[in-house]
Amino acid sequence: MISTKYSPYITFSREAWAKLRFNTPLTLTQSEIQELQGMNEKLSMKEVEDIYLPLTRLLNLYIKASQQLHTVTDEFFGEKTRKVPYVIGVAGSVAVGKSTTSRILQSLLMRSPDHPKVELVTTDGFLYPNDVLNKNGLMEKKGFPESYNIKELITFLTNLKSGDTKVKAPVYSHLYYDIIPNTYQEVVQPDIVIIEGINVLQTPKNEDKTLPSVYVSDFFDLSIFVDADEKDIQQWYVDRFKLLKDTAFTKRESYFKRFADLSVVEAEKVATDIWNNINKKNLDLNIKPTKNRADIIVRKGKNHSVSNIKLRKI
Ligand SMILES: Nc1ncnc2c1ncn2[C@@H]1O[C@H](COP(=O)(O)OP(=O)(O)O)[C@@H](O)[C@H]1O
Ligand SMILES: CC(C)(COP(=O)(O)O)[C@@H](O)C(=O)NCCC(=O)O
């Protein structure tokens, strides 16, 4: 464990972190882990044991403390206030592994002793539909702050954190590369909600007076930034693109079906161009600067194995 006087974080090496699991039981079978695996890499049982179980243990302790705070507040008011879900934000670059990390945490948290109801919501559902992006010249800016309907996201989070029993989030399809009209994810009385997206730690530009004066992260009880070397993230993006070329892109309804017949070399070139022209720019300009707002920074190495974890000194 390294704690420098001038950093708001304590840094744990992989080895030191793995020891913090204590007696959290390993609650996933090998087949459940397989289910959790992303699309092209192997998530090992060891990675779950060393990294994600200690993380789940910590999250469970924080959640318990937050419930105690709720009870204390009720005591102060002399009446029961509405139960609101514990909200965890997961941020990071496109292709860094936010969805995979969020799905692992969802699965492990759901298996905690009191079996909480854990919902996962991705902020791509709050992207403007392609026709709106096209009209505003934003098709090459998908994922940039201006491509999201932040007001709608803030309203969703406000309702969620007000204890509304049912809230609805719009749904994005990676296959259609667009919002699915009139389709919603219903979030009904969750105990924990994971909000995953590249934009969740961003702050609205001060000059934009039309945006609400609250940030997305104001609704989080805890935030996690998934971090890695830019070269590795680019590689994961290109690898995922090549895999999609042989799977999802071959489907008739795929927005990218024109890429299905590319050779491997051509696919690498197209993916690298999209990475450089859109996702890398977004990473440098809008995502990296939010890293140090996170409570926990999970740093991954080449093969997705976590090399260290930074924890904000609370
Ligand atoms: N912990 C992990 N172990 C193995 N593979 C992973 C892990 N995290 C991400 N990946 C792989 O890396 C790629 C990007 O991950 P993904 O979760 O889709 O990223 P994001 O949601 O940030 O775009 C996917 O192909 C996924 O399978
Ligand atoms: C929908 C996204 C903005 C969000 O990414 P995610 O939250 O899934 O990491 C991204 O997947 C995307 O489509 N970026 C635009 C460039 C591209 O096609 O990769």
Distance from C-alpha of 140 to C-alpha of 113, rounded to nearest angstrom? 45
Cα 234 to ligand 1 centroid, rounded to whole Å:
12
Q: What digits encode the pLDDT tens for the residues 71-126?
A: 888 888 888 878 899 999 999 999 999 999 999 999 889 988 888 999 999 999 99
Ligand 2: residues whose CB is within 6 Å?
94, 98, 122, 124, 142-143, 197-198, 274, 278-279
* Ligand that comes closest to the CA of residue 199: 2
In order of their start, the domains of the chain are 2-312 (3.40.50.300)
With the C-alpha atoms ordered 176, 179, 182, 185, is the resulting torsion angle positive or negative? positive
Proximal ligand: closest to the CA of 42: 1
Spatial contact of 188 and 166, defined as CB atoms under 8 Å apart: yes
Please tell me the predicted confidence (pLDDT) of residue 258.
93
Q: Which residues touch 217 (CB under 8 Å, ≥6 apart)?
A: 89, 200, 201, 203, 223, 293
65-79, 143-157, 219-233 — which is least confidently predicted? 65-79
pTM: predicted TM-score of the whole model, two decimal places: 0.94
Handedness of CA 41, 45, 51, 54 (dihedral sign): positive
**Candidates 100, 142, 199, 290: which one to mutate for ligand 2, based on the most atoms within 8 Å of Cβ?**
142
What band does 22 get if pLDDT is binned at 50, 70 and 90? confident
pLDDT confidence of residue 128: 98
What φ, ψ does residue 215 adopt, rounded to 5°?
A: -100, 160
pLDDT at 13 over 70: yes
Residue 59: other Cβ atoms inside 10 A: 22
| Distance from residue 95's CA to the centre of ligand 2 (Å) | 8
Q: What string of DSSP letters covers 258-309?
A: GGTT--HHHHHHHHHHHIIIIIHHHIIIIIGGGGGG-SEEEEE-TTS-EEEE
pLDDT at 49: 87
| pLDDT surpasses 50 at 222 | yes
Residue located nearest, by CA, to atom 5 of ligand 1: 41
Place of tokens 């999209």: 274
Q: Which atom of ligand 2 is nearest to the CA of 237?
A: 19
User: Which residues lie with the beta carbon below 6 Å from any ligand 1 atom?
Assistant: 38-41, 43, 92, 94-100, 236, 240, 304
Contacts 24+ apart (CB under 8 A), 282-286: 282/93, 282/94, 282/143, 282/144, 282/198, 283/93, 283/94, 283/230, 283/233, 285/144, 286/144, 286/145, 286/198, 286/199, 286/202
What's the gap between Cα 277 and its chain centre?
A: 22
Q: How confident is the model at residue 5 (pLDDT cuts 50, 70, 90)?
A: low
Q: Which ligand is nearest to the CA of 97?
A: 1
Atom of ligand 1 nearest to the CA of 93: 22
- The CA distance from 14 to 11, in Å, is 10
How many angstroms separate the alpha carbon of residue 96 from the centre of ligand 1? 6
Residue 19 and residue 54: Cα distance in Å, rounded?
8
pLDDT in tens, 236-295: 999 999 999 999 999 999 999 999 999 999 999 999 999 999 999 999 999 999 999 999
- pLDDT at residue number 211: 65
Q: Ligand 1 centre and the CA of 41: distance in Å?
A: 8
Here the ipTM equals 0.94
- Which residues are CB-contacts of 78 (< 8 A; sequence separation ≥ 6)? none
Quick one: pLDDT at residue 40? Answer: 41
pLDDT tier, 39 (very low <50, low <70, confident <90, very high otherwise): very low
| Model pLDDT, residue 131 | 97
On whether 95 is known to bind a ligand per the annotation, the reply is: yes
pLDDT at 27 over 70: no
Is residue 107 a contact partner of residue 173, using CB atoms and an 8 Å limit?
Answer: no
- In which element (H, E) is residue 76 found? helix 53-77
